[in-house]
Amino acid sequence: MTHDTNGDTYSSSLEPVIRLAGLDRVYHLAGENIHAVNNVTLDVWPNQMTAIVGRSGSGKTTLLNLIAGLDTPTDGDVWLLGRNLAQMDERERLNLRLYHLGFIFQSFGLMPLLTARENVGVPLRMRGVAPAEREGHIDEALEWVGLSDRAHHRPYELSGGEQQRVAIARALAENPQLVLADEPTGQLDTRTGRRILNLLRRLVEERGVTLLVVTHDPQVMAEADVVHEMEDGMLVDTRIKEGIAVPGM
C-alpha cells in the first residue's frame, strides 16, 4: 500500500510498483489516428530492473511519459506506487514525482551554469530540505557515483559519462523508491555505458530501488531482470531472466 505523496513511503512486495491496464494513447494527426500506445497491460515489481525495449517509434518513450504522469492516456489506467494517476490532481502528481520518483535522461538533463554539486541539490531544494541535511545527501550521492573530486565542475567540464553519473547522483540524493530512465546509455560509448549500467544495477541491489529503463541498448537488455518489448505501440513479448521471480508469471 501507499500513503500520501509528501514523503511517506510505499512498501509492498505483494503489489506492483507500476501497474498498467489497457493503456492507450492516441494522437490525431492530419485526420488520422496514431496509436502511440495500444492496449498495454503490464506490471513492474519492486526491487527489480525492468527494461522496455523497441525500435524508435515503437511507443516506449510515450509509455514512459504516461507512467510518469507527464502525459494523459486516451484510455486505460496507470497505478503508480499504489495510486491511480487518473484519481490524482496535478498537484498530487507533482508531489508524487518530487518525493518518490527519480529521473535519468539520455541528454543528462543538467543545468549548464550549475556545478555538479548544485545540480544534484536541485530537487532537494525544491522539496525544501534543510541545508545541513541537503548537503549531507549531496555528499553521499556524489561519493557513491565516484565524483566527489568533480563536485565543483560544471557540465561542460565533465565527460559524457561523468555527466550521466551526476544525473544518477541527483536521482539517488532524492532517495527515490522508483527511478525512470530514458535511454541512459544512449549517448555513451560501450565502455562508458557499461560503467553507467553497473551503477544502475547497484541502485537496485544496494539501494532497493525499482528501476524502469527505456532503451535499445543490448547491454541494458541483457542486464535487466525483466524485458518488455514494444512494437507499433503494442506489447509483443516479455522475457524474464532465469532465477527472477515475477508474481503471476
CATH of residue 199: 3.40.50.300
Of 74, 66, 70, nearest in space to 20 by CA: 66
CB 83 within 8 A of CB 93: no
Give 8's pLDDT tier (boundaries 50, 70, 90): low
Is 249 within a domain?
no
Is 4 within a domain?
no
Q: How many domains does the chain have?
A: 1
Is 3 within a domain?
no
What cell does 98 get? Answer: 518530487
Those residues whose C-beta lies under 8 Å from the C-beta of residue 84, and which sit 6 or more positions away, are: 77, 78
Is 12 within a domain?
no
d(CA 247, CA 108): 33
Is 212 within a domain?
yes
Is 66 within a domain?
yes
What cell does 107 get? Answer: 541528454
Domain of 218? 18-240
pLDDT of 120-166, one tens digit each?
999 999 989 999 999 999 999 999 999 999 999 999 999 999 999 99
Give 1's pLDDT tier (boundaries 50, 70, 90): very low
What cell does 63 get? Answer: 509509455
Give 186's pLDDT tier (boundaries 50, 70, 90): confident
